[in-house]
């Protein structure tokens, strides 16, 4: 019998907002090994190298085997369990970021069918997952390399997708909006500005975001700004007013109120708490 093993790496910080590797690894599981029931706070793709097992999500049970892949969605209760006689061996990568939902929307993964049988490009996907693991480390250069490899891995899932994206789909509009937000969040841009850039009405943009991201454009813009504000609070000595200006708020009081609503504490409290943890 093959020896059991587990090699894994978890990033201590997720510094890249667009896409960041949360964890990566590979494991040959014990007979009947199970994770869950539980939820993750990030996306998690498993590629099954050998053996078989069961993945349960949204009340549905899926029996999967070598060559298949499955996706764990954030905040979705799930269980995955290795077979008793032929326990699976898999490689995985967990990730988060503003690009994640839009990219996955263009793959064959869906919440109704969170798996792909006999994944196209499976061998290359496995190799890329190992490349992400080999690039592990806590330096910023490691994060950049892991993210680059992750984009390559996700591109393989897009190449193998049976559903082909056409121009001017909701996914295309949302991705274009995200690119605009990435470049302009530090200015006092509004949802109307984003809609004008993309070439949609505000209501059409709202429907596109709801279908792809499951939140409104305004919520996404605010969340993006708050993530940037958190990074500056943790890693800079800028004043609260300067941070507010840097993430697109021209009113410091409104920034502090918005931050408190999202994080449950003031910017000053967040900075103090983050410094105590380091």
Q: pLDDT band for 10, please (50, 70, 90 cuts).
A: low
Q: Kindly tell me if the per-residue pLDDT of 49 is higher than 50.
A: yes
Are the C-beta atoms of 120 and 81 separated by less than 8 Å? no
- For residue 61, what are the β-bridge partners? 56
Query: What average pLDDT does this structure show over 34-38?
Result: 94
Element (H, E) at 116: strand 115-116
**What's the confidence (pLDDT) of residue 167?**
40
Q: Which structure tokens are listed for 37?
A: 């029931």
- For residue 94, what are the β-bridge partners? 23, 44
Q: Which structure tokens are listed for 40?
A: 């993750």
Mean pLDDT of the chain, nearest integer: 88
Percent of residues, the chain, with pLDDT higher than 70: 91
Range with top average pLDDT, 54-63, 137-146, 180-189: 54-63
Q: Kindly tell me if the per-residue pLDDT of 160 is higher than 90.
A: no
Query: Which residue spans within 1-107 are E strands per DSSP?
Result: 5-10, 20-28, 34-38, 43-50, 52-57, 60-65, 69-72, 78-82, 89-96
Q: pLDDT band for 1, please (50, 70, 90 cuts).
A: very low
Percent of residues, the chain, with pLDDT higher than 90: 61
Q: Which structure tokens are listed for 15?
A: 């510094």
Report helix angle 252-263 to 217-235, nearest 10. Answer: 100
Query: How many other CB atoms are there within 10 angstroms of residue 1's CB atom?
Result: 5
Instruction: Write the pLDDT tens digit of every residue in 57-112.
Output: 988 999 999 999 999 999 899 999 999 999 999 999 999 987 888 888 889 999 89
Q: Kindly tell me if the per-residue pLDDT of 11 is higher than 70.
A: no
Instruction: Write the pLDDT tens digit of every residue in 189-242.
Output: 999 999 999 888 999 999 989 888 888 999 999 999 999 999 899 989 999 999
Instruction: Write the pLDDT tens digit of every residue in 228-269.
Output: 999 899 989 999 999 999 999 989 999 999 999 999 999 999
What's the whole-model pTM score? Answer: 0.63
Q: Which residues contact 243 (CB under 8 A, 6 or more apart)?
A: 229, 232, 233, 236, 255, 267
From the CA atom positions of the chain, what is the Rg in Å? 20
Q: Measuring CA to CA, which residue among 147, 117, 121 is closest to residue 132? A: 147
Q: pLDDT band for 15, please (50, 70, 90 cuts).
A: low
Higher pLDDT, 16 or 167: 16
> What's the CA gap between 157 and 175, in Å, rounded?
17
């Amino acid at each position: 019998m093959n020896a059991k093993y587990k090699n894994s790496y978890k990033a201590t910080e997720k510094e890249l907002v667009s896409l960041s590797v949360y964890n990566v690894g590979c494991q040959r599981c014990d007979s009947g090994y199970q994770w869950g029931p539980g939820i993750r706070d990030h996306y998690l793709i498993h590629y099954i190298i050998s053996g078989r097992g069961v993945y349960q999500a949204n009340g549905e049970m899926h029996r999967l085997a070598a060559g298949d892949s499955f996706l764990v969605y954030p905040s979705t209760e799930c269980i995955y369990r290795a077979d008793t006689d032929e326990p699976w061996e898999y490689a995985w990568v967990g990730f988060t970021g503003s690009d994640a939902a839009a990219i996955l929307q263009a793959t064959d993964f869906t919440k109704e069918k969170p798996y792909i049988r006999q994944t196209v490009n499976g061998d290359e996907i496995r190799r890329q997952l190992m490349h992400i693991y080999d690039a592990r480390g806590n330096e910023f250069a490691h994060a950049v390399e892991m993210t680059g490899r992750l984009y390559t891995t996700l591109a393989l899932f897009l190449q193998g997708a049976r559903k082909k994206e056409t121009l001017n789909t909701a996914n295309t509009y949302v991705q274009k909006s995200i690119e605009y937000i990435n470049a302009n969040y530090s200015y006092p841009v509004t949802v109307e500005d984003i809609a004008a850039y993309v070439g949609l009405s505000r209501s059409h943009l709202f429907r596109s975001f709801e279908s792809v991201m499951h939140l409104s454009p305004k919520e996404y813009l605010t969340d993006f700004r708050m993530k940037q504000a958190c990074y500056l609070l943790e890693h800079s000595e800028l004043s609260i007013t300067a941070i507010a200006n840097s993430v697109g708020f021209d009113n410091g009081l409104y920034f502090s109120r918005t931050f408190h609503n999202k994080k449950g504490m003031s910017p000053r409290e967040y900075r103090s708490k983050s410094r105590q943890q380091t």
